[in-house]
Amino acid sequence: MRTTGEGRVLLEPNGPSLQPDRLVALPRLAGPRVGGLPHDADRFIPVDDRGRVEGADGVWAAGDCTAFPIKQGGIAAQQADTVAAAIAAQAGADVEALPFRPVMRGMLLTGRAPTWLRASIADGRAADSVTTGNALWWPPSKIAGKRLAPALGAADADAAAEHSEGGLSVEVELQAHPAEAPGLERRAILAHVRGERKPRLLDFEPGGHGL
Ligand SMILES: Cc1cc2nc3c(=O)[nH]c(=O)nc-3n(C[C@H](O)[C@H](O)[C@H](O)COP(=O)(O)OP(=O)(O)OC[C@H]3O[C@@H](n4cnc5c(N)ncnc54)[C@H](O)[C@@H]3O)c2cc1C
Protein backbone atom coordinates (compact mmCIF):
# COMPACT_ATOMS: atom_id res chain seq x y z
CA MET A 1 0.00 0.00 0.00
CA ARG A 2 1.28 3.50 -0.70
CA THR A 3 -0.08 6.99 -0.58
CA THR A 4 -0.65 8.57 -3.96
CA GLY A 5 -1.82 12.06 -3.08
CA GLU A 6 -3.93 14.00 -0.64
CA GLY A 7 -5.82 11.36 1.38
CA ARG A 8 -5.52 8.67 -1.30
CA VAL A 9 -3.90 5.25 -1.00
CA LEU A 10 -3.15 2.68 -3.66
CA LEU A 11 -3.40 -0.99 -2.72
CA GLU A 12 -0.48 -2.64 -4.42
CA PRO A 13 0.29 -4.39 -6.66
CA ASN A 14 -2.85 -3.85 -8.78
CA GLY A 15 -5.00 -1.30 -6.98
CA PRO A 16 -7.65 -0.22 -6.29
CA SER A 17 -7.01 3.38 -5.28
CA LEU A 18 -9.01 4.39 -2.20
CA GLN A 19 -9.82 7.58 -0.35
CA PRO A 20 -10.59 6.28 3.13
CA ASP A 21 -11.68 8.26 6.20
CA ARG A 22 -9.67 6.01 8.47
CA LEU A 23 -7.00 3.39 7.93
CA VAL A 24 -6.34 0.54 10.35
CA ALA A 25 -3.17 -1.46 9.77
CA LEU A 26 -2.75 -4.85 11.37
CA PRO A 27 0.46 -6.86 11.39
CA ARG A 28 0.48 -10.13 9.51
CA LEU A 29 0.77 -13.00 11.99
CA ALA A 30 3.83 -15.21 11.73
CA GLY A 31 4.74 -18.20 13.86
CA PRO A 32 8.01 -18.84 15.68
CA ARG A 33 9.24 -21.56 13.31
CA VAL A 34 10.62 -23.81 16.02
CA GLY A 35 13.65 -25.71 14.76
CA GLY A 36 13.15 -29.43 14.20
CA LEU A 37 9.36 -29.18 14.07
CA PRO A 38 7.11 -28.97 11.03
CA HIS A 39 5.51 -25.63 10.24
CA ASP A 40 3.04 -24.21 7.76
CA ALA A 41 3.64 -21.40 5.26
CA ASP A 42 3.21 -18.82 8.05
CA ARG A 43 5.67 -20.70 10.34
CA PHE A 44 2.98 -22.01 12.71
CA ILE A 45 3.07 -25.57 14.03
CA PRO A 46 0.37 -27.88 12.61
CA VAL A 47 -1.40 -29.98 15.27
CA ASP A 48 -4.25 -32.49 15.25
CA ASP A 49 -7.38 -32.14 17.38
CA ARG A 50 -5.51 -33.48 20.45
CA GLY A 51 -2.66 -31.02 20.03
CA ARG A 52 -0.23 -33.63 18.73
CA VAL A 53 2.28 -32.09 16.34
CA GLU A 54 1.72 -33.58 12.94
CA GLY A 55 4.72 -35.57 11.79
CA ALA A 56 6.63 -35.40 15.10
CA ASP A 57 6.22 -38.36 17.44
CA GLY A 58 5.79 -37.59 21.12
CA VAL A 59 5.48 -33.82 20.60
CA TRP A 60 2.41 -31.75 21.46
CA ALA A 61 1.87 -28.01 21.07
CA ALA A 62 -0.63 -25.51 22.42
CA GLY A 63 -1.17 -21.78 22.14
CA ASP A 64 -0.30 -19.04 19.69
CA CYS A 65 2.54 -21.05 18.11
CA THR A 66 0.08 -23.57 16.64
CA ALA A 67 -1.62 -23.25 13.26
CA PHE A 68 -5.04 -22.76 14.88
CA PRO A 69 -6.02 -19.38 13.39
CA ILE A 70 -7.36 -17.67 16.54
CA LYS A 71 -4.59 -16.37 18.79
CA GLN A 72 -6.10 -15.72 22.21
CA GLY A 73 -5.17 -16.50 25.81
CA GLY A 74 -8.46 -18.27 26.55
CA ILE A 75 -8.09 -20.43 23.44
CA ALA A 76 -4.45 -21.16 24.34
CA ALA A 77 -5.58 -22.30 27.81
CA GLN A 78 -8.16 -24.66 26.26
CA GLN A 79 -5.51 -26.06 23.94
CA ALA A 80 -3.26 -26.58 26.97
CA ASP A 81 -6.06 -28.55 28.72
CA THR A 82 -6.49 -30.71 25.61
CA VAL A 83 -2.76 -31.37 25.37
CA ALA A 84 -2.37 -32.08 29.09
CA ALA A 85 -5.17 -34.67 28.92
CA ALA A 86 -3.68 -36.25 25.78
CA ILE A 87 -0.23 -36.56 27.36
CA ALA A 88 -1.65 -37.90 30.62
CA ALA A 89 -3.77 -40.48 28.77
CA GLN A 90 -0.76 -41.59 26.73
CA ALA A 91 1.24 -41.93 29.95
CA GLY A 92 -1.41 -44.31 31.26
CA ALA A 93 -3.42 -41.98 33.50
CA ASP A 94 -7.14 -42.62 33.85
CA VAL A 95 -8.00 -39.51 31.84
CA GLU A 96 -10.17 -39.14 28.78
CA ALA A 97 -8.28 -37.38 25.97
CA LEU A 98 -11.07 -35.31 24.46
CA PRO A 99 -10.59 -33.45 21.17
CA PHE A 100 -10.09 -29.69 21.12
CA ARG A 101 -13.51 -28.01 20.93
CA PRO A 102 -12.75 -24.29 21.04
CA VAL A 103 -15.03 -21.77 22.71
CA MET A 104 -14.24 -18.08 22.27
CA ARG A 105 -14.86 -15.99 25.35
CA GLY A 106 -14.35 -12.26 25.10
CA MET A 107 -14.99 -9.37 27.41
CA LEU A 108 -15.85 -6.18 25.54
CA LEU A 109 -14.82 -3.11 27.50
CA THR A 110 -17.36 -0.49 26.51
CA GLY A 111 -16.41 2.39 28.75
CA ARG A 112 -19.43 1.60 30.90
CA ALA A 113 -20.47 -1.87 32.03
CA PRO A 114 -18.61 -4.61 30.09
CA THR A 115 -20.28 -7.02 27.70
CA TRP A 116 -19.47 -10.72 27.75
CA LEU A 117 -19.28 -12.58 24.44
CA ARG A 118 -19.12 -16.30 23.88
CA ALA A 119 -19.26 -18.56 20.82
CA SER A 120 -18.36 -22.15 20.06
CA ILE A 121 -16.22 -22.58 16.98
CA ALA A 122 -16.86 -25.51 14.68
CA ASP A 123 -15.64 -25.96 11.10
CA GLY A 124 -14.12 -22.49 11.17
CA ARG A 125 -17.42 -20.81 12.02
CA ALA A 126 -18.91 -19.41 15.21
CA ALA A 127 -22.01 -21.13 16.57
CA ASP A 128 -24.22 -20.61 19.62
CA SER A 129 -23.01 -17.06 20.04
CA VAL A 130 -24.17 -15.17 23.13
CA THR A 131 -23.80 -11.47 23.95
CA THR A 132 -24.89 -10.34 27.38
CA GLY A 133 -24.26 -7.91 30.18
CA ASN A 134 -24.10 -10.79 32.68
CA ALA A 135 -20.88 -12.61 33.43
CA LEU A 136 -20.71 -15.82 31.38
CA TRP A 137 -17.71 -17.34 33.13
CA TRP A 138 -15.99 -17.15 36.43
CA PRO A 139 -14.00 -15.28 37.53
CA PRO A 140 -15.34 -12.72 35.01
CA SER A 141 -11.92 -11.59 33.79
CA LYS A 142 -10.52 -10.82 30.33
CA ILE A 143 -8.48 -14.01 30.38
CA ALA A 144 -10.97 -16.88 30.46
CA GLY A 145 -9.32 -20.15 31.44
CA LYS A 146 -10.54 -22.93 33.70
CA ARG A 147 -7.31 -22.95 35.67
CA LEU A 148 -5.50 -19.89 34.35
CA ALA A 149 -8.14 -17.31 35.35
CA PRO A 150 -8.40 -18.38 39.00
CA ALA A 151 -4.61 -18.60 39.15
CA LEU A 152 -4.26 -15.07 37.78
CA GLY A 153 -7.01 -13.89 40.13
CA ALA A 154 -5.21 -15.42 43.07
CA ALA A 155 -1.92 -13.87 41.98
CA ASP A 156 -3.39 -10.42 41.75
CA ALA A 157 -6.06 -9.51 44.24
CA ASP A 158 -7.19 -6.62 42.06
CA ALA A 159 -7.81 -8.79 39.02
CA ALA A 160 -10.99 -10.30 40.46
CA ALA A 161 -12.62 -6.92 40.84
CA GLU A 162 -11.35 -5.49 37.56
CA HIS A 163 -13.97 -3.89 35.27
CA SER A 164 -16.78 -4.68 37.67
CA GLU A 165 -18.95 -1.68 36.86
CA GLY A 166 -22.57 -2.73 36.82
CA GLY A 167 -22.09 -4.81 39.95
CA LEU A 168 -20.69 -4.28 43.40
CA SER A 169 -17.38 -6.06 43.94
CA VAL A 170 -16.51 -7.08 47.43
CA GLU A 171 -13.68 -9.11 48.87
CA VAL A 172 -14.12 -11.02 52.09
CA GLU A 173 -11.98 -13.51 53.90
CA LEU A 174 -13.83 -16.73 54.61
CA GLN A 175 -12.46 -18.95 57.34
CA ALA A 176 -13.73 -22.09 55.63
CA HIS A 177 -10.82 -24.47 56.02
CA PRO A 178 -8.05 -22.44 57.61
CA ALA A 179 -6.33 -25.51 58.98
CA GLU A 180 -6.05 -27.10 55.52
CA ALA A 181 -4.82 -23.98 53.78
CA PRO A 182 -3.54 -21.40 56.23
CA GLY A 183 -2.25 -19.09 53.50
CA LEU A 184 -5.39 -19.31 51.35
CA GLU A 185 -7.44 -16.18 50.91
CA ARG A 186 -10.88 -16.81 49.41
CA ARG A 187 -12.63 -14.10 47.50
CA ALA A 188 -16.26 -13.34 46.84
CA ILE A 189 -17.94 -11.14 44.28
CA LEU A 190 -21.50 -9.92 44.12
CA ALA A 191 -22.47 -10.54 40.52
CA HIS A 192 -25.27 -11.18 38.12
CA VAL A 193 -25.57 -14.84 37.30
CA ARG A 194 -26.89 -16.02 33.96
CA GLY A 195 -30.63 -16.74 34.15
CA GLU A 196 -31.05 -14.96 37.47
CA ARG A 197 -32.45 -11.47 37.88
CA LYS A 198 -31.00 -10.64 41.27
CA PRO A 199 -27.25 -10.41 41.87
CA ARG A 200 -25.79 -13.19 43.96
CA LEU A 201 -22.76 -13.48 46.23
CA LEU A 202 -20.32 -15.91 44.67
CA ASP A 203 -16.95 -16.92 45.94
CA PHE A 204 -14.01 -18.63 44.39
CA GLU A 205 -10.56 -19.69 45.32
CA PRO A 206 -7.52 -20.92 43.44
CA GLY A 207 -8.82 -23.84 41.41
CA GLY A 208 -12.40 -22.60 41.38
CA HIS A 209 -13.96 -21.50 38.09
CA GLY A 210 -17.19 -21.02 36.24
CA LEU A 211 -16.26 -22.38 32.81
C1 LIG B 1 -1.83 -6.52 23.40
C2 LIG B 1 -2.44 -7.89 23.58
C3 LIG B 1 -3.60 -8.02 24.36
C4 LIG B 1 -4.17 -9.28 24.54
N5 LIG B 1 -5.30 -9.39 25.31
C6 LIG B 1 -5.86 -10.60 25.52
C7 LIG B 1 -7.02 -10.73 26.35
O8 LIG B 1 -7.55 -9.77 26.88
N9 LIG B 1 -7.53 -11.97 26.54
C10 LIG B 1 -6.97 -13.07 25.95
O11 LIG B 1 -7.47 -14.17 26.18
N12 LIG B 1 -5.86 -12.99 25.16
C13 LIG B 1 -5.30 -11.77 24.94
N14 LIG B 1 -4.18 -11.66 24.13
C15 LIG B 1 -3.64 -12.85 23.50
C16 LIG B 1 -2.79 -13.63 24.49
O17 LIG B 1 -1.80 -12.78 25.05
C18 LIG B 1 -2.10 -14.80 23.77
O19 LIG B 1 -3.04 -15.50 23.01
C20 LIG B 1 -1.47 -15.74 24.78
O21 LIG B 1 -0.49 -15.07 25.53
C22 LIG B 1 -0.85 -16.96 24.08
O23 LIG B 1 -0.19 -17.72 25.04
P24 LIG B 1 1.01 -18.67 24.63
O25 LIG B 1 1.46 -19.30 25.91
O26 LIG B 1 0.61 -19.53 23.50
O27 LIG B 1 2.13 -17.71 24.04
P28 LIG B 1 2.93 -16.54 24.78
O29 LIG B 1 2.13 -15.93 25.88
O30 LIG B 1 3.41 -15.67 23.67
O31 LIG B 1 4.13 -17.30 25.46
C32 LIG B 1 5.19 -17.83 24.70
C33 LIG B 1 6.44 -17.72 25.55
O34 LIG B 1 7.47 -18.46 24.90
C35 LIG B 1 8.65 -17.67 24.93
N36 LIG B 1 9.49 -18.09 23.81
C37 LIG B 1 9.33 -17.80 22.50
N38 LIG B 1 10.30 -18.39 21.77
C39 LIG B 1 11.07 -19.06 22.64
C40 LIG B 1 12.22 -19.88 22.51
N41 LIG B 1 12.78 -20.10 21.31
N42 LIG B 1 12.75 -20.41 23.61
C43 LIG B 1 12.20 -20.20 24.83
N44 LIG B 1 11.09 -19.45 25.02
C45 LIG B 1 10.54 -18.90 23.94
C46 LIG B 1 8.17 -16.24 24.84
O47 LIG B 1 9.13 -15.36 25.34
C48 LIG B 1 6.92 -16.29 25.71
O49 LIG B 1 7.20 -16.06 27.06
C50 LIG B 1 -3.58 -10.41 23.94
C51 LIG B 1 -2.42 -10.28 23.17
C52 LIG B 1 -1.85 -9.04 22.99
C53 LIG B 1 -0.59 -8.90 22.16
Q: What is the pLDDT of residues 34-46, one digit of tens each?
A: 999 999 999 999 9
Contact (Cβ atoms closer than 8 angstroms) between residue 53 and residue 88: no
Domain ranges of the chain: 31-101, 103-204
Q: What is the mean pLDDT of residues 162-176?
A: 54
Choosing from 71, 116, 163 the residue with most ligand 1 atoms within 8 A of its CB, the one to mutate for a pocket test is 71
Give the per-residue pLDDT at 179. Answer: 52
**At 33, is the secondary structure helix, strand, or coil?**
coil
Q: Does ligand 1 lie within 6 Å of residue 76's CB atom?
A: yes
Strand segments, DSSP code E, in 60-206 are 103-108, 115-122, 125-132, 187-191, 200-204
Give the per-residue pLDDT at 145. Answer: 87
In ligand 1, the atom with minimum distance to the C-alpha of 65 is: 26
Nearest to 105 by CA among 195, 184, 209: 209
Q: Out of 19-23, 140-144, 187-191, give the one with best mean pLDDT.
A: 19-23
Q: Does ligand 1 lie within 6 Å of residue 178's CB atom?
A: no
- CA atoms of 64 and 161, how far apart (whole Å): 27
Tell me the Cα Rg of the chain: 22
Choosing from 26, 64, 70, 211 the residue with most ligand 1 atoms within 8 A of its CB, the one to mutate for a pocket test is 64
Q: What is the mean pLDDT of residues 49-66?
A: 96
Contact (Cβ atoms closer than 8 angstroms) between residue 150 and residue 208: yes
Q: Does ligand 1 lie within 6 Å of residue 108's CB atom?
A: no
Q: Does ligand 1 lie within 6 Å of residue 121's CB atom?
A: no
Q: Does ligand 1 lie within 6 Å of residue 106's CB atom?
A: no
Confidence of residue 49 (pLDDT cuts 50, 70, 90): very high
Q: What is the pLDDT of residues 144-154, one digit of tens each?
A: 888 888 788 77
Task: Quote the ligand 1 centre to 64 CA distance (angstroms).
Answer: 7
Give the per-residue pLDDT at 184. Answer: 47
Q: What is the mean pLDDT of residues 62-89?
A: 96
Give the per-residue pLDDT at 85. Answer: 97
- Assess whether pLDDT exceeds 60 at residue 2: yes
Q: What is the mean pLDDT of residues 142-170?
A: 68
